[in-house]
Amino acid sequence: MQKEDNINNLISCWNKVPGIIAMDEDTMAEVWNKRSKNYAKNNGKGDGKKKTEEILVFLDECGFNPEGAKVLDIGCGPGTLSLPLARLGAEVTSLDISSGMLDRLKDVVKKESLPIEVLEYSWWTADIDELGFRKEFDLVIASMTPGIKNVEDFDKMVACSKRLCYYSNFLQRSEDKAYYDIQTSILDENPKVNMNGIVYPFMYLYLSGHRPSLRINHSEWKEEVSWEEAADRAIDFIGRGRSFDDETKGRIMNYYQTASQNGMYSSKSDAYIGMMIWEV
């Protein structure tokens, strides 16, 4: 009884914390379609390539062999993990809500003739029995995806695996100082903090009797882009699907123009990311 009480209390807390995704499916798809070009451009390069290699090593250490394995990649994006796993011999089903992300993945799949099935679905409403996903995969992946927003989405993910699951999300993330300034000074809001990243899924698994292998990585990155691009990204990211009026957009654009040098804006961010693998 105490175990059930603990789990129910945790779920109740999980559903109340800041950071729960409030966008509907159409808005979510639109947001990620806008980001797809930039994500695809950086896919498999630099720091992103290093992170992918770390994940593949982690999976190997936990006993996963991609050769001949069936993999489900939830919120696959432009194929950050789907592509390298398919190249290593896995049969991958890649699912995402964003047609923009999937179009870029399809281009690579066609070019390299990779064993990847690409599906445009929202995980929030996907029926795993209609799709034939239940206990169908050797590995189910949900890597840094808003597709898993609550315990129901998480349970549905686990139900698709017959062996291993991989999940990752933020433990803590610090955006560029500009985001804080814009939310407090221009929008008169309290900055939103992601508090339901890795902690609640990990605790849910632990209370349910699982003992996932866990890794915590720290990343820092600097970037220099035109102030116009920096402003557009901020409007997209902070807005999270909201429609700012022209006056608010103008104030945000003016912030970045004023903070830029020679038309370029330099940003600095850092994040702690938790990754866990467990047997189902």
**C-beta atoms surrounding 45 within 10 Å:** 9
183 lies in some domain: no
214 lies in some domain: yes
Q: What are the Cα distances from residue 200, in Å, to 136, 154, 157, 219? A: 26, 11, 15, 21
111: domain CATH number? 3.40.50.150
Q: What is the pTM of this model?
A: 0.88
Q: What is the pLDDT of residues 70-127, one digit of tens each?
A: 999 999 999 999 999 999 999 999 999 999 999 999 999 999 999 999 999 999 999 9
241 lies in some domain: no
- How many domains does one find in the chain? 1
203 lies in some domain: yes
**Domain range for 220:** 1-176+192-224+270-279
146 lies in some domain: yes
Q: What is the pLDDT of residues 234-249, one digit of tens each?
A: 887 787 667 789 999 9
Contact between 143 and 273 (Cβ < 8 Å)? no
140 lies in some domain: yes
Give Cβ neighbours of residue 200 (< 8 Å, ≥ 6 apart).
10, 13, 14, 17
For residue 209, how far is the Cα from the chain centroid?
25
265 lies in some domain: no
Give Cβ neighbours of residue 40 (< 8 Å, ≥ 6 apart).
78, 101, 104
Contact between 39 and 225 (Cβ < 8 Å)? no
233 lies in some domain: no
